[in-house]
Structure 1
Amino acid sequence: MESFFQGRSATRSSWNYESLKNFRQISPRVQNHLKLVYLTLCCALGASAVGVYLHILMNIGGFLTFLGCSVGIIWLCTTPPYNERKRFGVLMATALLEGATLGPLIQLVLDFEPSILVSAFVGTALAFGCFSGAAIIAKRREFLYLGGLLSSGLAILFWLRFASAIFGQATAMFNVELYFGLLLFLGYVVFDTQEIIERAHLGDLDYVKHALTLFTDFVAIVVRILIIMMKNASEKSDDEKKRKRRS
């Protein structure tokens, strides 16, 4: 028992500022690959923001942009990395179409309360950075076991959606899907980051495909945070209106 507590205290003491700068377990080649991945991710997020802006100006978001985005994702996932420039261009186009597809939701948020959009994006960026950073500084392969659990969770989420489509979506079921999906994709950030590191160690340096993986995680998180924040703000506004009527 004493050795157990000694081990726990030693683990805590090892987490300090120096441990945050310890990338010795990641080779320089993999570190450069991660820089490319996150730089490409930032470019994809910028392209997605352009897609949102184009929807606000021209109302282009809808089924066609969703279909084009899906085709782009499938193409990037199934083609070998023989032409990086072409694949990078396809990723930017896919991200732009994804932003246009999310345009109606963003427009709804802007019409309701614009500050929610800023808060949701900042919150998503902080959560994404923390979970992805934790995966980077953790021991190699430490979180890869989450793959089976996350796959099971994704299957559960799919069947919950399927049941809601057939039997109707109750408020409780909607809340379960929303919060469970948020936790699920936060877990995927950790898992995907470590999987990218391991694949890079094994020679897979397809930074475009890896950036696409993290991009889909980021979008899934920000959408759920937006819906949660807008839902909470709407409920709060309704409660205030009821109080004013009573008074």
Structure 2
Amino acid sequence: MNIFHHSIRFHALFKFSQISHSTQLHLKNVYSSLAVCMFVAAAGSYVHVVTRLFQGGLLSLLCSLGMMVWLSMTPHNSETEKNRLAILAGFAFFTGVGLGPAMDFVININPSVIVTAFLGTSIIFICFTLSALYAKRRSYLYLGGTLMSGLSILFLVSVLNMFFGSAILFKAHMYMGLVIMCGFVLFDTQLIIEKAENGDKDYVWHCVDLFLDFVAIFRKLMILLAMNEKDKKKEKK
């Protein structure tokens, strides 16, 4: 059998028969908003690293949390849609500013790590998102309890490491966190689908869930790559 005689139907790659048309439109809004959030967050990181107009730290964290609370308190309807999108942009901006200190650490080691981490995060995010979209509905929702337990373990490890200051324990914490956040991409994607199928079309808030997943994966991957690069430089010396 000659496989080259068969035409490849690329449209089939994007056919999600288990998801209703209205939910597919909802997901388009979610991912469009997510793309804008990434751009705005990149602008926030640029402001910190290059212009130094805003400094990442406690203040940027409080601002991003304030924006999230404000967004959660603003009702979802057609009249408030523009305001909520503006709040979402503000949240993404201050989140990007908050990445500044980690980027400063990475730039001192090797600036190219940032690009590598972003590309790696994008590939990871796309792969796990497609896995969730193509998988049977609700098949990954069982991960919720396991992922929350994993977050509890991460918190305990971070508290313990405050006393021990172990680099090995810190790396283990980062790798474990990276795996857990990949799991959250699967879980949150299918949870958004289920919410949309049940009438919850708040694409702005759903975007926040996925944006936080992306940022968490990017931060952890960036720091891990930077630490590995630093170890390589030490070995060469």
TM-score, scaled to structure 2 = 0.90
Identical amino acids, percent of aligned pairs: 41
Counterpart in 1 of 2:43? 50
Q: Which region of structure 1 is more displaced relative to structure 2, 173-182 or 54-63?
A: 54-63
Match status 1:239 vs 2:218: no
Counterpart in 1 of 2:3? none
For residues 60-116 of structure 1, the C-alpha deviation after alignment (integer angstroms, 9 at most, x for no partner) is: 222111110011123323443131111111110011001111112113322321211
Match status 1:144 vs 2:141: yes
Amino acid at match of 1:39: S
Gaps of 5+ in 1: 1-15, 242-247
- 1:103-142 matched pairs, under 5 angstroms: 103-142=100-139
Q: 174, 178, 200: which is aligned to 1:178?
A: 174
SS in 1 for 2:89: helix
Q: Which region of structure 1 is more displaced relative to structure 2, 102-111 or 199-208?
A: 102-111
- 1:54-133 matched pairs, under 5 angstroms: 54-56=47-49, 57-60=51-54, 61-82=56-77, 83-133=80-130
Determine if contact 1:19/1:137 at 8 Å carries over to the other structure.
no
The CA distance in 2 between the partners of 1:63 and 1:84, in whole Å, is 29
Q: Which region of structure 1 is more displaced relative to structure 2, 187-196 or 107-116?
A: 107-116
Amino acid at match of 2:25: N
Gaps of 5+ in 2: 1-8
SS in 2 for 1:219: helix
Amino acid at match of 2:58: F
Counterpart in 1 of 2:5? none
The CA distance in 2 between the partners of 1:84 and 1:225, in whole Å, is 33
The CA distance in 2 between the partners of 1:19 and 1:142, in whole Å, is 21
Q: How many residues align?
A: 225
Q: 14, 17, 21: which is aligned to 1:28?
A: 21
For residues 157-197 of structure 1, the C-alpha deviation after alignment (integer angstroms, 9 at most, x for no partner) is: 111112222x2321221122100000000000000000000
Shift of 1:233: 0.3
Amino acid at match of 1:80: P
The CA distance in 1 between the partners of 2:101 and 2:158, in whole Å, is 21
Cα RMSD after superposing both structures = 1.6
For residues 125-154 of structure 1, the C-alpha deviation after alignment (integer angstroms, 9 at most, x for no partner) is: 000000011101111001000001001101
Counterpart in 2 of 1:13? none
Q: Which region of structure 1 is more displaced relative to structure 2, 123-132 or 154-163?
A: 154-163
Q: Which region of structure 1 is more displaced relative to structure 2, 97-106 or 168-177?
A: 168-177
Counterpart in 2 of 1:38? 31
SS in 2 for 1:204: coil
For residues 198-235 of structure 1, the C-alpha deviation after alignment (integer angstroms, 9 at most, x for no partner) is: 00000000000000000000000000000110000000
Q: Which region of structure 1 is more displaced relative to structure 2, 197-206 or 63-72?
A: 63-72
The CA distance in 2 between the partners of 1:101 and 1:140, in whole Å, is 35
Match status 1:220 vs 2:216: yes
Amino acid at match of 1:174: F
SS in 1 for 2:116: helix
Q: 190, 195, 199: which is aligned to 1:199?
A: 195
The CA distance in 2 between the partners of 1:226 and 1:218, in whole Å, is 12
Shift of 1:18: 7.8
TM-score, scaled to structure 1 = 0.87
CA radius of gyration, larger in: 1
The CA distance in 2 between the partners of 1:19 and 1:159, in whole Å, is 45
